[in-house]
């Protein structure tokens, strides 16, 4: 049978999602836990790979297994073998042709950024940080040119394996709550490092080192050299994919209520 699982994790101590020989990835830990739970090898397919240090609130994976368990059993049984900063949030049986990645209609990310003269401490590893004041209106103006279907080569890592740099960015939201900014991104799919590279450019505009009109120049250049440096991974959260409503898969987990001033 095929089962879909929703996974939340703090990415600070891991080398991203994708399995590596050293075993220090989210996928490696999850597959070891699932294998221990069902006493048979289990492979996972995720909706979207995350980089080193990036977090997830509702990463979706599917697995094919030869045993049947109640949904709560998949959650509690697998979590028994996982470290404290990785946990299954929900489980649902799905059709044999369901695919966590290919059936996603879109994906959502948030970046939480702290603006303060002092560096982070309690929230270290969970938020990005800038010490210069940011201009929200300037960043929102710069973001408007990114909405739509574009060639995002200027925001693409040299290691990106995507077949095409053309993606649809459906919405960008920018809001502030006290010392914290939240940037929300909704798109069809994202290139490797795309959001972190977008963040680097938005911060450059927000701090006044570049005008809002510069974002259009960067986008049109279709060259990574035209954009700002890649921003830190610390404050980046994969909120998860979303699917056809008929599938009935959860689009939220409890962690959505923890993430500051969420509108997701």
Q: pLDDT tens digits for 179-196? A: 999 999 999 999 999 999
User: CA 132, CA 135: separation in Å to the nearest integer?
Assistant: 10
Task: Indicate if 110 and 95 belong to the same structural domain.
Answer: no
Is 245 a domain residue?
no
For residue 159, the model assigns a pLDDT of 86
Average pLDDT of span 47-69? 96
Cα(200)–Cα(94) distance, rounded to whole angstroms? Answer: 39
Q: What is the mean pLDDT of the chain?
A: 95
pLDDT the model gives residue 148 = 98
Q: Which residues are catalytic?
A: 51
pTM of the predicted structure, to 2 decimals: 0.96
* CB 126, CB 214: distance < 8 Å: no
Q: How confident is the model at residue 259 (pLDDT cuts 50, 70, 90)?
A: confident
Residue that terminates a domain, selected from 84, 103, 122:
103
pLDDT band at 155 (very low <50, low <70, confident <90, very high): very high
Query: Is residue 253 situated within a structural domain?
Result: no
Q: What is the dihedral of CA 232, 6, 18, 84, to 10 degrees?
A: 70
Buried b (16+ CB within 10 A) or exposed e, 99-112: ebbebbeebbbbbb
Q: What does the pLDDT average to over 104-124? A: 95
> pLDDT for 65-108, tens place per residue?
999 999 999 999 999 999 999 999 999 999 999 999 999 999 99
Question: 65 and 36, same structural domain?
Answer: yes
Residue 81 lies in a domain: yes
Please report the pLDDT score of residue 187 as a whole number: 98
Both 114 and 86 in one domain: the answer is no
Pair (49, 164) in one structural domain: no
Is 196 part of a structural domain of the chain? Answer: yes
Query: How high is the pLDDT of residue 160?
Result: 87
Total Cβ atoms within 10 A of residue 79: 16
End position of a domain, from candidates 103, 135, 156: 103
pLDDT at 264 over 50: no
Residue by residue, DSSP assigns 23-62 as --SHHHHHHHHHHHHHTS----EESS---TT-EEEEEEEE
Residue 34 lies in a domain: yes
DSSP secondary structure code for residue 132 in this structure: S
- Statement to judge: residues 229 and 114 lie in one domain: yes
Q: Which domain holds residue 168?
A: 106-237
Task: Taking residues 196-224, report their average pLDDT.
Answer: 98
pLDDT of residue 222: 96
Same domain, 99 and 110: no
Confidence of residue 161 (pLDDT cuts 50, 70, 90): confident
Q: Is the pLDDT of residue 2 over 60?
A: yes
- CA neighbours closer than 13 Å in the CB half-sphere of residue 7: 35
Query: Domain with 154 in it: what CATH number?
Result: 3.30.70.660
Domain count, the chain: 2
Q: Are residues 130 and 32 in the same domain?
A: no
| Mean pLDDT confidence for 250-254 | 94
Q: Are 72 and 137 within one domain?
A: no
- Check whether residue 138 and residue 203 sit in a common domain: yes
Asked whether residue 82 falls in the same domain as residue 202, the answer is no
**What distance in Å separates the CA atoms of residue 197 and residue 132, rounded to the nearest whole number?**
19
Phi, psi of 174, deg, nearest 5: -130, 120
| Structure confidence at residue 261 as a pLDDT band (50, 70, 90) | low
Q: Name the 3-class secondary structure at 130.
A: strand
CA distances 3 to 66, 125, 210, 260, 263, Å, are: 11, 32, 47, 31, 29
């Amino acid at each position: 049978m095929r089962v879909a699982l929703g996974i939340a994790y703090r990415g600070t101590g891991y080398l991203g999602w994708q399995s590596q020989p050293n075993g220090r990835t989210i996928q490696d830990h999850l597959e070891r836990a699932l294998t221990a739970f069902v006493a048979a090898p289990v492979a996972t397919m995720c909706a979207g790979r995350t980089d080193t240090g990036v977090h997830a609130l509702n990463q979706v994976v599917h697995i094919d297994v030869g045993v049947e368990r109640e949904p709560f059993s998949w959650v509690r049984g697998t979590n028994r073998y996982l470290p404290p900063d990785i946990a299954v949030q929900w489980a649902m049986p799905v059709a044999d042709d369901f695919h966590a990645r290919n059936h996603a209609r879109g994906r959502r990310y948030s970046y939480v950024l702290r603006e303060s003269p002092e560096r982070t401490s309690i929230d270290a590893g969970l938020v990005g940080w800038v010490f210069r004041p940011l201009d929200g209106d300037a960043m929102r103006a710069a973001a408007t040119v990114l909405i739509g279907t574009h060639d995002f080569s200027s925001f693409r890592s040299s290691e990106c394996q995507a077949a095409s740099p053309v993606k649809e960015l459906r919405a960008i939201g920018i809001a502030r709550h006290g010392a914290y900014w939240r940037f929300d991104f909704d798109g069809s799919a994202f290139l490797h490092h795309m959001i972190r590279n977008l963040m680097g450019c938005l911060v450059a505009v927000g701090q006044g080192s570049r005008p809002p009109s510069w974002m259009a120049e960067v986008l049109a250049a279709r060259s990574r050299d035209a954009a700002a440096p890649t921003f830190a991974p610390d404050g980046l959260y994969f909120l998860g994919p979303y699917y056809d409503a008929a599938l009935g898969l959860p689009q939220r987990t409890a962690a959505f209520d923890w993430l500051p001033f969420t509108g997701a």
